[in-house]
Each structure stands twice: as structure tokens, then as C-alpha cells.
Amino acid sequence: MAHRHNSHSKHHSFNGKNFAILPIIFCAGILAITYFTLLLPSASAFVSVGSLFFSDRTMDFSEEFNNIFVPVTDPPTESQTEKRKIPASEIEFPKQGEQFGEIIIKDCQIDARLFFGDDNIALNNGVGIYPGSSIPGYGKTILAAGHNNTYFNGLKYAKKGQKIEIKTSYGNFFYEITDIKIKDHTDASAYDLEADYENLILYTCYPFDELGLTPQRCFVYAKPAESNLEIDKKN
Amino acid sequence: MKKIVKVLSTAALAAVVTVSASTAAFAAGGINAAEQSILSELGTSVTMNGVVKTIPASYINQAENYFNTVEITEDQASAAVAAIEDAKAYLASAGVSAYSELSADQVNTFVSKVSAALSPLGLTLNYASADSITIVDANGNVVASKVGGTTGGTTAGGTTAGGTTAGGSTATDNPIKTTGADFNIPGIAVVAGVGIVIVSAAGVYVLKTSKSKNGAQA
């Protein structure tokens, strides 16, 4: 009888402690290992492969894009003071998904292709401009996105006064960083797409080295240089 | 002499062809009066049940960007503007305060009116649902699209005259994209689930083994 009581007691111990605690510890360990492993850049390839198996989204395997960017042969410099104006009819306005330039921020070690459109192909290959905004020279808001673990990781070095250069087939444009803000991705006050003056906004996920669905974004605001090329939109 | 003339003629012809070709490639640039009339119409508001609705700037910008790649004539613009006015009038008389309150029949009617506005511009609207909209040009190139609401679902500021617009742009879309790694939450959930099942199975195995040992010892 004493033996049966002892056996029952052991059985109860398994259900109440080991059987519950073991899975919890195991799962916590798995999650911890997964989380810290994902922090390593070298793990991104494994994450991408893993997402093929577990994704509930339609995967786009295409990495092809059209490139209309041809660097200008005699680019103006930032120190040039003469204001230049060219008719829009001389410009090949990019179609969505096309690379039409490059963006360079030397102080942030950023040198990336610039696309019109910010779909996955664009962001996998460089920096993408939201098609509901505009492109350099048109006197409106330019809203550009880049991934925080690749092309825009360098935005963590951004400081006021630093220079941004955008090269396009129709000219080179220069901007100066005026502000840096961290905001929620749903915060519509982070940009003004109705602005009737040229302003450049770059953004990426924040924190910079965080992988995953972060709700915050780092916005870098910049104003154009006085000497920037101006597009005559009526001609 | 004849040879020189022939060479010069050939060179002149090549130059003309080259210039013509390059002009044709970029001549669409700029916003003409016809295109401006469409943009102006898109910029006007519509009142639905006393609630004033305006088209978000992002949609109007998309229309303007598209017009920078094509040349719209006065006739095309007139037809498009008339169709946009018709679509707006329909929304104003629909008896609801928001696009999301439209009945299925009303949505179908509105979509057909938007299609009628796009048609003169050589654009086609493919509407599967409010979250799956694509506008393509005559060559099948996507001019604008919205698929699945993957970008957060907030508007670009302001409210919209509906889920779709008639100016070459599409439905509500958050300008701010997911710019972190393509980290997959459902995938993690599956991994965690599989882990729990494995550990549970291991627990049952340990339990049974322990019981067997106890039984043998008894």
C-alpha cells in the first residue's frame, strides 16, 4: 500500500512539473537561440531559405529589373552656383520598378542603386522611391526606403549637415541632412506628400540592427542644394 | 564627289533618324493642359452624407508621375474628367459616408465608373477586391497596384473618395514600407508548434519509460 502511494506521488510529479516545465524550457531555449542567431548577419541567408518553407505569402523569385541609369558625362559639382533648368521633355521619366540613379552618402558609407518604386525587387537591390511621391528636380517630396540590414544600415551614422548625392541620367542632385527622427510606421506626420517644395526623406526600420517587424522607422530629412537642377514641368 | 555626297546624305539621314527617335522617347515629359485638367479634377473633393472626402496626395502624385511618361490629348482628358465627375456624383448620391459602407452592387457600379474614367487614358482597371487592385497600361505594364494590404493599411494623409481613384493610381496604401528583414512570424509559429509537439512526445516517452522501469522494479 505504501508502495502504491509512492508510485502515485511520482506520477503526479511528472504531470505537474516535468511534463509542463520541460516543454516550456525547451521552447524558450529554441526561441532564444533563434532570436540570437537571427541577430547575426550571416544567418540572413538561412532565414530567407526558411521563409520559403513557412511563408504564407506569394514569393516573388524575380530579381530582374530595368536599368535606365546612365551617369552624366560632365556632372555639375555641388559648389556650382548657377541655377540650371531643363525641360521635362528632355527627361526619360522612370517607370515603376526601373533603376534610374544612384544614391550616395559618404559619411554613412551608403552607395546604392536608386529605383522608382519600392517593391521587394527594388528594396532587395537598392533604395526605392515611393511611387506616390516624386523624383529629384520636380520640386516635391521624395520618399525613399531602404532595408536596415543592407543598403540603409548606414543611416545609423546620419548627422545633421551631412551631404547626400543623387545621381540620375538627367543630372546630379545634392541635399543636406536637416533632421533625424524616430517615428511609428503609421505616423502620417512623418512626411508630407502634398508639399510644393522639394524635400528628400529617407527612412529605414529602427532599431538599425534589429531584424523582424519593427514598428518604428528612422526618418532622415534633407533639403536640396540651391544649385540643384530644376525641371520645367510644363515643357 | 558622288561618294562624298552619298556618305553625307547617309550621315544626315542617320542623324535625323537618331534625333527623331530620341525625341519620340522623351517627348511625353511634362504636364500639358489636358493632363493638368485631370489632376485638377482629382484634387477636388466629394461630399458623402455630409462628410467631405478628398483623394490622398499620393494618388494624385502617382497620376502626375504617370502623365510624365505619356502624352494625353484634350479629347482623352475631357472624356476622363467627365467620367471622374460621374463617379464622384455616384459616390455623393450613394447614401453612405464612406466607401467601405457601399453595398456589393454599389461597389460594382463604382468600379465600372472608375474603369470608364481610365479607359480614355488607355488604362485598364483590374479589381478583385478593395485589397487587390491593379491598373495596367495598353502594354500590360503595371501603372499602379495594391495587393493584400501588406504595408500597414494607413492612408497617405487625408481621406479618400473611395478605395480607388480615376487618375492612374489605386487604393489606400501606406507609403511606409517594412524595411526590416523579411522575418516570417507564421514561420516562427510553425517552428514553435513543431517544437512543442516534439517535446510533448518526448515527455510522454519519458513518462512511459519511467512507468515501465517502476513496474519492473516492483
Residue-wise pLDDT for A3-19, tens only, equals 555 545 455 555 666 67
Average pLDDT over residues B34-38: 95
In the block, cell 502626375 appears at: B64
The verdict on a CB contact (< 8 Å) between B180 and A146 is no
Give me the phi and psi of A154, to 5 degrees please. Answer: -70, -10
CA distance B73 to chain A (A): 15
In contact, A195 and A140? CB cutoff 8 Å: yes
Residue at A169: amino acid letter: S
Of A34, A130, A205, the CB nearest to B180: A205
Whether residue A80 has pLDDT greater than 70: no
Alpha helices in A113-212 (DSSP H): 120-125
Which residue from A31, A130, A146 is facing B175, i.e. has the nearest CB? Answer: A130
Which span out of A51-60, B110-119, B195-204 was modeled with the highest average pLDDT? Answer: B110-119
Residue among A192, A219, A191 nearest A204 (CA): A219
pTM: predicted TM-score of the whole model, two decimal places = 0.70
> Are the beta carbons of A14 and B210 separated by less than 8 Å?
yes
Contact state of B150 with A57 under an 8 Å Cβ cutoff? yes
- Concerning whether A205 is annotated as a catalytic residue, the answer is yes
Tell me the three state secondary structure of residue A73. coil
Reported ipTM: the value is 0.73
Tell me A5's DSSP state: H
φ, ψ dihedrals at A57, nearest 5°:
-110, 160
Active site residue A12: no
Q: What is the mean pLDDT of residues A74-92?
A: 75
Q: What is the dihedral of CA B154, B158, B164, B166, to 10 degrees?
A: -150
Specify the residue for cell string 526623406.
A201
Chain A residues closer than 8 Å to B137 by CB: none
Residue of A11, A147, A185, A218 with catalytic role: A147
Q: How far is residue B204's CA from residue B150's CA, in Å, rounded to a whole number?
A: 41
Q: Which residues of B touch A204 (CB under 8 A)?
A: 179
CA distance A23 to B206: 13
Test B174 with A185 for CB contact under 8 angstroms.
yes
Q: Write the pLDDT tens digit of every residue in B138-178.
A: 888 878 776 544 333 222 323 333 333 322 233 346 889 88
How far A217 CA sits from the closest chain B CA (Å)?
A: 8
* A33: confidence class by pLDDT, cuts 50, 70, 90: confident
Over residues B167-216, the pLDDT tens digits come to: 223 334 688 988 876 444 555 556 666 767 777 777 777 777 777 777 76
Q: Does B65 sit within 8 Å of A214, measured CB to CB?
A: no
Give which of B124, B119, B123, B174 is closest to B146, Cα–Cα: B174
| Nearest neighbour of B154 by CB, restricted to A57, A88, A186 | A186
